[in-house]
Structure 1
Amino acid sequence: MLNSALQSLVLCWNITIRNWVVYKKDLIANISPTVADPALILVSLGLGLGSFLTDVEGMGYMQFLAPGLTVATALFTSFFESSYGFYVRMSYENVYKAMLTTPIGVKEVVMGEMLWIGLKGGIMAIGVAVVLALFGLMVNPWLIPLIGIVGGLVALPCGAMGLLATALVNNINQFQTVYSFIIAPLYFLSGIFFPIDQMHTAVRVLAEFFPLIHGVRLAQAIFWERDIIGAFLYSGSILIVQSLILCVWSYYQIRKKLVT
């Protein structure tokens, strides 16, 4: 049984390596939007609105924006990888159909993809954090490795949401609806651009179910060096529970498409 589990883990890792090999072929093209977009948003909003919003929770607006933009990278990286990316590999390239003719099963496919998504989300979050730290927006740059953990914790539930979408859509264009009604609200209502405490009670309660808001709180604690342990105990625990629930749910849903 132990040998079977180890073999399964090796197969999962091979899928992750396969995705990395494909990804690195156009590495600069793939990573440039991930790093450039948060920096451009920070400059445009931070310098523009920053001249008017000089005190947001006791800090400048650019400093307030930085943590949320970092973990938003993990949101978009994971969602697009497990939605559009997974769908293309499944429906157009027939990658998984080929994999399933080998000892790789559906469990290894899903676990391997989620491992890739978690690692990718963490690494991308670190990359953005490094850029923002160069702007002087992080109190203690030595804490940047912790951002990688937060990126991975955010990427897993958000990636599972993308996988659920892949299991439910009938064609690739329907991902636009998922983005408009699920991903966009997560992005705009998770405390990235303004303190969520100022929103209506119903919005605040709803936002507590968003994985991203807990990632934002963790990133804020790290960037501002405020109660990091407490943030991990609360928001980190919630992200782990959300990851388990959503990953298991997405596995059973996507399995129906992969085995038919």
Structure 2
Amino acid sequence: MERPPPREAEVTWRDGDVPVSARYGEGYYGDEDALAEKRHVFIEGNGLPARFAERATFPSRRSIARPFQIAETGFGTGLNALAAAIAWRRAGCAGTLRYTAFEAHPVTAPDMARALAPWPELAPLAAAMVAAWDRGERVFSLSDPAAGAGAGGAIEIEVIEGDARETVPGWRGRADAWFLDGFSPARNPELWEPALISAIAERCFPAATLSTYTAAAKVRAALEAAGLRVERRPGFGRKKHMTRAWDRRPRLARDTRCQSFAPDPNPDQPM
């Protein structure tokens, strides 16, 4: 009888500080500036700086008074979560940012710490994340003890372990923004199956946005089949294209948070 694969991720290292999944034979991020790439694909790709700024400016507006919810397929080293947390803090939002990730093979705390070490700007929040991770916590709050009162509102992290094809359909939440960041469709096809993409689309607030580094035709087709509006956008560095999508429901056209996501006249044409 074949033994089940280990739950915990096995990480090797390329060029000293680039984490690579032994299971999937692929890096957790590229060889270029990974933090800049995450910001391009997921933070800018979901229009988060402008959306966070609006929440900071109009905190009592009913449509934005509730917590802002981000969801991610694949937590990896936690780099995406920290990039979102930094953006939230910089915007000065007084409310709560909730970040839910679905991870089948969590990394160890030492591997997480090593992977996040190259970015000093992340150090305070990264230290808090690694400490919680090392204690076995998968639901925790991020805070910087040295930050002042104006550092922004609460940041709550939840990592749901297990196969996303089972855990996402079982999630009772909805997201304002989805980060689709599994390993490539060729190496990790499970995270890009149409049924899972459909479950993700069903767990979106009206006007929700989604982004991913891949522009694979099968991924874009699955997003469109799930009822989402899809466009191909310039990628980061050597990657020619990335993908972003958004909820089609009528509220999108009226929601000022998403005006920057108006569809291109020819979204499938090369950028």
Q: TM-score, normalised by structure 1?
A: 0.31
Larger radius of gyration: 1
Q: TM-score, normalised by structure 2?
A: 0.30
Higher relative contact order (CA 8 A, sep 6+): 1
More helix by share: 1
